[in-house]
Amino acid sequence: MQKKSPLNSASISPRALVVLLVCVAACLLVTRTLPAFLRSEAPANVPQRTLTFAERVAYQRAIEDVYSRHRIWPRNRGERPDSKPSLDAVMSRAQLEKKVADYLRKSQALEDYWQRPITAEQLQAEMDRMAKNTKQPEVLRELFAALGNDPFIIGECLARPTLADRLVTSWYAYDQTIHGELRLRAEAELQKHSAVEQIKKLSGKYGAIEFVRNDSAYGKENHGVGHSVKLTDREWRETMEELAGTFRCARSDPQALVQRGRSASLDRANNARMDAYEAIPVGKLSSLQEDETCYYVTAVIKMSSDHVERAIVVWPKESFESWLSRAENRWANTAASGYYTLPVISGGACIEDSWTATGGSPDGRVGHTAVWTGGEMIVWGGVRGNQILFNTGSRYNPSTDNWTPTSTTNAPSARGYHTAVWTGNEMIIWGGNDGNQSNSGGRYNPSTDGWTGISSAAAPSARSLHTAVWTGDEMIVWGGYDGATEVNTGGKYDPSADSWTATGTINAPTPRYSHTAVWTGSEMVVWGGENNSAGLSTGGKYNPVTNSWVASSMSNAPISRYGHTAVWTGSEMIVWGGYNVDTQQYLNTGARYNPTTNSWLATNTTNAPEGRSDHTALWTGSEMIIWGGSFFDFGNYYLNTGGKYNPASNSWTVTTTANAPIARDSHTAVWTGTEMIVWGRLAIVGCQLAIHPAPEPFMLQYGRAVK
């Protein structure tokens, strides 16, 4: 006899049916799943479904096609007049096959080396997680539809790659059966060469750098020290605290440094800083430290009240890709056996002015870069604690709420304070500090997860703290600090020819770093910055076609500053915030610059956020959003506040702090079209003096799209 469904039974009364429907609706609203008695139960013997390798490749192409459609082809400022290329033009079948083979090999490695085969239950849980946590439900629906809304195919071709990546990264990073030999070698060397004078005899990579307090007499007198990093007063204090933490000997007062509010007194704050400073031993090796990429030791070679020479020795761990290529040369095209259900995708219209946390992410860092591709945020590089440099990165996909590590094969050397631009199909990074100033870089293709080197022939001189803009066919880098002095040179890089052309220097702005630059569609406008500890209020417009500079007007220009931000609205550049050296003030002022009329107009300060520097700013299409940053007033104060500036009404609106991320500065932010994603930096946690990573990304949502 065929079993009747409860809904088909004639024995249900109308009243009972109403109750049943209410129950169904409640389950959908609360759990987003049907009640158990309405779900099809898994059969006792689930038939084993399979996918051929060719089918997996076809489904991978369907996934890539969705991502390709959403990838930004910069054209709103005239950058890319050419047509956006098809997926087949930018991604070959061989590259699709490599992607499929990679996730199958990672799945196999989980089973072979960690005895953790991916199960159907895990794939179902991963699909459920995506559906529940997606920040772009419309894109996730497209992905599901591209896979036929078949939960088995979605589990195997969308959930399996993300899950395998996440699990294998977690298991590999600190596995002592893999990295233990390296650790033992480092420990044995440290026992044999325990004196700091013997540090160069260690087999790890040695590096030394001098941190110079920028506003000190030493910093001004030793302006040409080639291996130095110039630090602001705030950065100097943070570096001392971080070094003290490395040696686990800080005795600082936790109440002297707070997120918001005021410290108890100037004496208390000064005592806290002196405690951290005096606790740092000179001429002593730290204990062996470990992070996900290396083992390392640190030593302070010389130290005074305004400069510190720090040495570090790093033993890099073998990259996962290198290890996997040796250890796991096979993969099995098997599918997890189980019963799957298609999850209901949550979300709809975003909630105006609201914060949402995202999933797990890479270790926190500063001096990194972030670009938005149209479907993913790519973060790369950076430094932690002014000690460990990264050549790693990750791609955050808000539709699946998932992070995917970027490849390290052929990646540029580890570095921080470089620049990055998005071209439409590649991220180009260049310059920065990799232990020395660098003039190298690389091009990263997120579709293939591959790196291509950049020619250094005729490249600008090595530098960091410069700026870069994308014109549509060239990247223009300009300004920065070369390790000895500020520069006012630059270069235009053409990725199609892999070649450099120098920018003109006639009528160029004075040398500077920590300035800002925007691309208008025909010109690069630079403004502000720092030169030999002095803030600047000058700037210029650079035309790459004529290779010429025109100075920006000084009439009604904002007062000098650095650590400020600048955005381009489509007709104006808006600069805001920063630090003024002359008045020693953190600014909440700004101005709008019109390059056509070469004129300035001040921004309103009514309801403007409090003064700050090292914040972020982006343009939504109708408003500028600024967020985060810090200021110093008898102690460091990190901010998790912000504001929206509307140039049409010359007015400010405060951003909400409900569920906002932890206060921070020197982070990155990107605009997705409806949301701002902030990520990274080191931030104060609670009232603790120690500096902790703040890697978790948060999204501030707005119900409007980019114009």
Rounded Cα–Cα distance for residues 394 and 635 (Å): 33
- Report the 3 state secondary structure along 474-515: CEEEECCECCCCEECCEEEEECCCCEEEECCCCCCCCCEECC
Taking every pair of C-alpha atoms in the chain, what is the biggest distance, in angstroms?
96
**Pairing relation of β-strands 530-531 and 419-422?**
unpaired
Tell me whether residue 210 is exposed, middle or buried, using C-beta atoms within 10 angstroms of its C-beta: 0 to 12, 13 to 18, 19 or more: middle
Sign of CA dihedral 656, 661, 662, 667: negative
384 neighbors 415 (Cβ within 8 angstroms): no
Element (H, E) at 258: none
Task: Give the per-residue pLDDT at 346.
Answer: 87
345, 388, 463 from 158: Cα distances, Å: 15, 34, 41
Please report, in angstroms and rounded to a whole number, the separation of the first and last CA atoms in the chain: 62
Give pairs for 619-624: CB < 8 Å, separation 24+. 619/567, 619/568, 619/569, 619/671, 620/671, 620/676, 620/702, 620/704, 620/706, 621/704, 621/705, 621/706, 621/707, 622/646, 622/648, 622/704, 622/707, 624/567, 624/569, 624/574, 624/576
Task: Give the per-residue pLDDT at 46.
Answer: 61
Rounded Cα–Cα distance for residues 468 and 479 (Å): 9
Residue 456 CB neighbour total at 10 angstroms: 13
Name residue 658's amino acid. A
Q: Which among 352, 356, 372, 375 is positioned nearest to 139, based on CA atoms?
A: 375
Sign of CA dihedral 678, 679, 680, 683: positive
Q: Which among 423, 426, 457 is positioned nearest to 439, based on CA atoms?
A: 457
Token pair 């235009």 in the structure block, residue: 492
Task: Give the per-residue pLDDT at 76.
Answer: 54
Residue 681 CB neighbour total at 10 angstroms: 27
Task: Give the per-residue pLDDT at 398.
Answer: 92
134, 239, 453, 612 from 363: Cα distances, Å: 22, 18, 25, 25
Question: Strand ranges (DSSP E) for 532-622?
Answer: 534-535, 539-543, 548-551, 565-568, 573-576, 579-580, 585-586, 590-594, 599-602, 616-619
Token pair 């233990």 in the structure block, residue: 180
Element (H, E) at 270: helix 266-278
Task: Give the per-residue pLDDT at 45.
Answer: 60
Regions of the chain where pLDDT drops below 50: 1-12, 14, 16-42, 223-226, 250-273, 683-695, 702-707
Backbone φ and ψ of 356, nearest 5°: -140, 130
Task: Give the per-residue pLDDT at 670.
Answer: 95
Residue 689 CB neighbour total at 10 angstroms: 24
Token pair 């098997």 in the structure block, residue: 334
Tell me whether residue 666 is exposed, middle or buried, using C-beta atoms within 10 angstroms of its C-beta: 0 to 12, 13 to 18, 19 or more: buried
DSSP 8-state class, residue 260: S
447 neighbors 91 (Cβ within 8 angstroms): yes
316 contacts: CB under 8 Å, gap ≥ 6: 205, 293, 294
637 neighbors 258 (Cβ within 8 angstroms): yes
Task: Give the per-residue pLDDT at 127.
Answer: 97
For 485-519, the pLDDT digits (tens) are 999 999 999 999 999 999 999 999 999 999 999 99
Question: Strand ranges (DSSP E) for 304-400?
Answer: 307-316, 354-357, 369-372, 377-380, 383-384, 388-389, 393-397
pTM value is 0.83
Virtual CA dihedral for 174, 180, 184, 187, nearest 10 degrees? 0
DSSP 8-state class, residue 199: G
Tokens of 159: 């959930």
Q: Is 129 helix (H, G, I), strand (E, B) or coil?
A: helix
